[in-house]
Structure 1
Amino acid sequence: MTQEVALDTVIRQRIRGLRLARGWSLDALAARCHLSPSTLSRLETGHRRIALDQLVPIARALGTTLDQLVEAVDDEDVVIRPQPTHTRGLTTWLLSREDALHGVTVAKMRITPERPTGAEHLGVHPGREWFTVLSGTACLRLGARTILVRAGDAAEFSTMVPHAIGAHAGPVEILTIFDHDGERAHLHAPDDAPQR
């Protein structure tokens, strides 16, 4: 019963938080989901029981899904304890879960000059990539171009251009975001089989 009450409270907080994040008054949201402002106020404050037939239009009006609105809170899902994987010149820590929102993967990478970035190692795949340099200097190969990306700087580029990220004059650490195609190409490439 306590878990049910806690989830009920979270749902109310989500409704109010999403409404306020959009800058909407109770009247504005009520008009969008065809409820009276007083009913919506009582739902948000816990003075009225939440019914499924009210949640569906509220979720739709707030631009979310019913599943997201009523998703249970699980403290176990908060902390990610990444385990490093190693390939030649590269150590990777996955900082997001496999079922991450919109298929996006976040990873921290430590690249050393031993990582191969020659023409035969340039990859191409659909999408875009983004990374920021945490320390050191990254050497970004984009086709025939070589671009140095220093600590504090970020890079974003089309992955349809042949590309590789290496280290310039010592190790570099980057934080990167891959879409599904980028993850498959960079983290599961056959020539980058993890070393134990």
Structure 2
Amino acid sequence: MDTALDQIGPRLRAARRDRGWTLEDLATRVGMSPSTLSRLESGKRQASLALLLPLTRQLGLRIDDLLPATPADPRIRRPVERRDGMVIAPLTLEHSPIKTYKVTFPPAEEAPAPRVHDGYEWVFVLSGRLRLALDGHEHIIERGEAAEFDTRTPHSVSATAEGPVEVVSIFSASGERIHTRGVEAQPDGGS
């Protein structure tokens, strides 16, 4: 298995080639023999700070740029939020460009007041029945069904009176702020 040090030579070579330089070009610029640079790039010579510092300076790199990034932990470890009877479980990392949540809505006799805001929302029903009020029309989305809508259209989502509904909701960033953090998150007070 390759170690981080095994990747230094190939990354040096790639940086040199990206600049259109030959072995001789870079070696001359840093006062090193082309054969030393060749052995370093091929992994036949161990990298040392004395060799790497002039090379990285000439190439406009940091030494860290020659090492592979530490892989991030892909697990989602964000807390579940409970608000207004809903359970909101994040399914994406905090800084993901698209926000995904598993949301459980409590039973509701009536649909909440419709809201309008920038964004898009996609919803998939895992269990129960979802009431989607969209532009004055009520739609019942059953288990296994999905819906997509522009949130600039007056809308509200809730469970029916029959029982809770569990959904996976995918939001654009602006839709996520409204639906998971509440109306107060919007600077103008609208929704």
User: TM-score band (shorter)?
Assistant: 0.5 to 0.7
Does residue 157 (structure 1) correspond to residue 120 (structure 2)? The answer is no
Q: Percent identity?
A: 31
Give how far 1:118 is off: 2.8
Q: Report whether the alignment pairs 1:83 with 2:75.
A: no
**Compared CA separation, residues 161 and 77, structure 1 to 2 (3 A):** same
Corresponding position of 1:170: 163
RMSD (CA atoms): 3.0
Structure (1/2) with the larger helix percentage: 1
SS at match of 1:77: coil
Residue ranges of structure 2 left out of the alignment (5+ in a row): 21-66, 186-191
| Within-5 A mapping of 1:28-47 | none
TM-score normalised to structure 2 length = 0.61
Determine which structure has more spread, i.e. the larger CA radius of gyration. Answer: 2
Q: TM-score, normalised by structure 1?
A: 0.59
Kindly provide the CA deviation profile for residues 62-84 of structure 1, in whole angstroms up to 9, marking residues without a partner as x: xxxxxxxx97242x521113421
Aligned residues: 135
Q: CA offsets, 1:15-43, max 9 Å, x none?
A: xxxxxxxxxxxxxxxxxxxxxxxxxxxxx
Q: Tell me which amino acid in the other structure corresponds to 1:175.
A: V
Task: State the match for 1:52 in structure 2.
Answer: 15
1:186 is paired with a residue of what secondary structure? helix
Map of 1:1-196 to 2, 5 A cutoff? 2-5=3-6, 8=7, 49-50=10-11, 51-54=14-17, 72-74=69-71, 76-100=72-96, 103-114=97-108, 117-119=111-113, 122-168=114-160, 169-190=162-183
What is the letter of the counterpart of residue 2 of structure 1?
Answer: T
Give distance in 2, aligned partners of 1:95 and 1:118.
Answer: 25
